[in-house]
Structure 1
Amino acid sequence: MTTHNPAAAFFASPAARGVAALLRGLHHVSPALGTRVAMGLFFTPMPTKWLARSRAVPRPWVERRLPFEGGHISVWQRADIEPGRPKVLLTHGWAGDAQQLRPLADTLAVAGFEPVLLDLPAHGRSGGWRSNLLQWVRALFAVTARFGPWDGVVAHSLGAMALSHALARGLPAKRVALVAMAPPPWQFLRWFADAMGTGEGLAARMRGRFERREGASLGHFEPAWLAERVTQPTLIVHDRGDITAPIVGSETLLAGLPAGRLHVTEGLGHRRLLSDPAVMQHIAEHLFSGA
């Protein structure tokens, strides 16, 4: 396992260091209170969501709002796509939004697919300000019930982790592409606690609180658990130098998949591969081979 901590870079600014100092103080005075505050911070996406919600989206893309858990999730479709094409669902990662996948979706449209983009809860134009992986899984099932089933599914980063769990739970899809899949949530909790300077005790309390609240084990997001249950032909795309989501997680998943292959890129990092022409073509060819 790499020793790099992606959360440390995010909490390097003076304001973020102040937040970390406040959290350490709360955690010292009252671990229970510190844990509650940490949970609120951990499950709130970065402020890029405000930019995403104000961004204009060009036609032919149109937004559909699907009721979801007292609010809505935003689904994007192209108005110029005729019915009957193979359907592909695409979704983003933490602090991202559906429009990050638009270049790939447009490429798939040219290739003959009907792409559907999803803003996950608390991201993009979807409602909410806080979210978590289990809610993302429920959102994937909700959008599938309305717009699926899928000939293909594509997801990036933490969205790929949520998608893998949904597939393991029976989400109907024929072929899968996972792009820069994030590490499992337990690793993120440890990184977060380390960046806050509170030690692994906070991470353990956050895990316990989350699992009790959601009635689910974070162990069911570990690559080894997922690999035994994701049976679809799966393409994994990962950059060798990705420091946000180290490639070891994708390699672990690949080792247990019954029908998986790994495409490794160089120099694209965590996000640039989403719009890289060669990567997009590789994903389109993988999905097309099952259409």
Structure 2
Amino acid sequence: MTTPTVAPAATPNPAAAFYAGLIARSLGAALRVSQSVAPAAATRLALRLFFTPMPLKLAARRRPLPAGWQVEHWPFEQGAMAVYRRRPEGKGERPTVLLVHGWAGDAQQMLLLADTLHAAGLDPVLLDFPAHGRSAGWRATLPQFVRALWAASARLGPLHGVVAHSLGALAAAHAAANGLPVQRLALLAPSPPPALFLQWFARSLGLGDGLPQRMGTWIERVEGVPLQRFEPGWLGLHVAQPTLVVHDEHDRVSPLAVGQRLAQALRGASLLVTHTLGHRRVLGDAAVAAAVTAHLQAARGSQHDPGRPNGSEV
């Protein structure tokens, strides 16, 4: 496992919000006790916690669908993925845009973006990653997110665009770097690379410095993907698609430095810095939705601005 290339920001611990609940804190206490007695067992328990979205997505699985949307379930690995599409309206082909959420999120967080894209003549398709929303399972991994993107692309055909949030943005960049057939990317509040987040995870539960290294080694061995290939430096050498990165200066989950580093690494990427939206409200902001739409419309020969120069703000 490689050393992360993005230095931790001044925020005490951006991962702490994910593990503040009673279940996570109780497991953290058990981990602290077991580390000195049985480090291998402690690593396995830590991985189970790390792979479990917190809080559990029970509410998202019961949430009613808004008018005009329908849900399908596509087979995927050991379960099924929930996919949300607009009900057919009229005739004519619309370019397909896949929208994906982040860790502990769900597809319906992307509805405002999806409706804006649909109004602009695109065909938005929303995906619940494994263990999220209405998709099957209770645990997931970042490489599994990547495989889910490939599975969706196999069903949908070449994609006009992918709009992705947080950990989904990191998965989308990795998939594009490895040949996912997509024309353009919009990465919203991209997550830190996994090596760095593993460090934050261990710190949030008061665990030792050796645990992140052991966890990363296990992930690389089992998943067969070097974690270094999620680092900005590696992605920057392999992502060729025009990319819009949107990041808020007050993001407490993924600091602005993460988005800045990724935008600098990707050739020709544009960075849009927002204010007061944090990590998740960026998904429900009309100005962000307009910027994402303009970026995706640029590939269709529209008159929209193809994206602001690196470092622009709203």
Q: Same fold (TM over 0.5)?
A: yes
Matching of residue 271 in structure 1 with residue 252 in structure 2: no
CA-CA distance at 1:55 after TM superposition: 0.6
Q: Is the 8 A contact 2:84 2:125 kept in 1?
A: yes
Q: Which residue of 2 aligns with 1:36?
A: 44
Distance 1:175 1:11, change over 3 A: closer
Q: Which residue of 1 aligns with 2:267?
A: 258
What's the % identity of the aligned pairs? Answer: 53
Q: Is the 8 A contact 2:18 2:54 kept in 1?
A: no
Per-residue CA deviation, residues 218-276 of structure 1 (Å, 9 max, x unaligned), is 00000111111111110000001111001112211222222211000011000101010
State the alpha-carbon separation in 1 of the partners of residues 87 and 17 from structure 2.
40
Q: Which moved more, 1:248-257 or 1:106-115?
A: 248-257
Q: Which residue of 1 aligns with 2:130?
A: 121
Q: Which moved more, 1:181-190 or 1:79-88?
A: 79-88
State the alpha-carbon separation in 2 of the partners of residues 9 and 175 from structure 1.
31
Q: Which residue of 2 aligns with 1:70?
A: 78
Q: Which residue of 2 aligns with 1:282?
A: 291
Per-residue CA deviation, residues 81-119 of structure 1 (Å, 9 max, x unaligned), is 444011111000000000000111001101111100010
Q: Is the 8 A contact 1:48 1:96 kept in 2?
A: no
Q: Which residue of 1 aligns with 2:191?
A: 182
> What amino acid does structure 2 have at the position aligned with 1:260?
A
Mapping of residues 42-61 of structure 1, within 5 Å: 42-61=50-69
Q: Secondary structure at the match of 2:82?
A: strand
Q: Secondary structure at the match of 2:65?
A: coil
State the alpha-carbon separation in 2 of the partners of residues 52 and 83 from structure 1.
32
Matching of residue 151 in structure 1 with residue 124 in structure 2: no
Q: Which residue of 1 aligns with 2:177?
A: 168
State the alpha-carbon separation in 1 of the partners of residues 133 and 19 from structure 2.
23
Distance 1:91 1:9, change over 3 A: closer
Q: Is the 8 A contact 2:102 2:165 kept in 1?
A: yes
Matching of residue 236 in structure 1 with residue 263 in structure 2: no
State the alpha-carbon separation in 1 of the partners of residues 21 and 69 from structure 2.
37
State the alpha-carbon separation in 1 of the partners of residues 236 and 121 from structure 2.
30
State the alpha-carbon separation in 1 of the partners of residues 225 and 23 from structure 2.
34
Q: Secondary structure at the match of 2:85?
A: strand
Structure 1: gaps of 5 or more residues: none
Q: Is the 8 A contact 2:164 2:187 kept in 1?
A: yes
Return the TM-score normalized by structure 2.
0.90
Mapping of residues 89-104 of structure 1, within 5 Å: 89-104=98-113
Matching of residue 245 in structure 1 with residue 254 in structure 2: yes
Structure 2: gaps of 5 or more residues: 1-6, 301-314
CA-CA distance at 1:202 after TM superposition: 0.6
Q: Secondary structure at the match of 1:183?
A: coil
CA-CA distance at 1:59 after TM superposition: 2.6
Q: Which residue of 1 aligns with 2:303?
A: none
> What amino acid does structure 2 have at the position aligned with 1:230?
V
Q: Which residue of 1 aligns with 2:231?
A: 222
Q: Secondary structure at the match of 2:238?
A: coil
CA-CA distance at 1:14 after TM superposition: 5.4
State the alpha-carbon separation in 1 of the partners of residues 18 and 153 from structure 2.
34
Please tell me the root mean square deviation across aligned C-alpha atoms, in Å. Answer: 1.3
Per-residue CA deviation, residues 11-43 of structure 1 (Å, 9 max, x unaligned), is 445554332211101112100000000000000
Q: Which residue of 2 aligns with 1:7?
A: 15
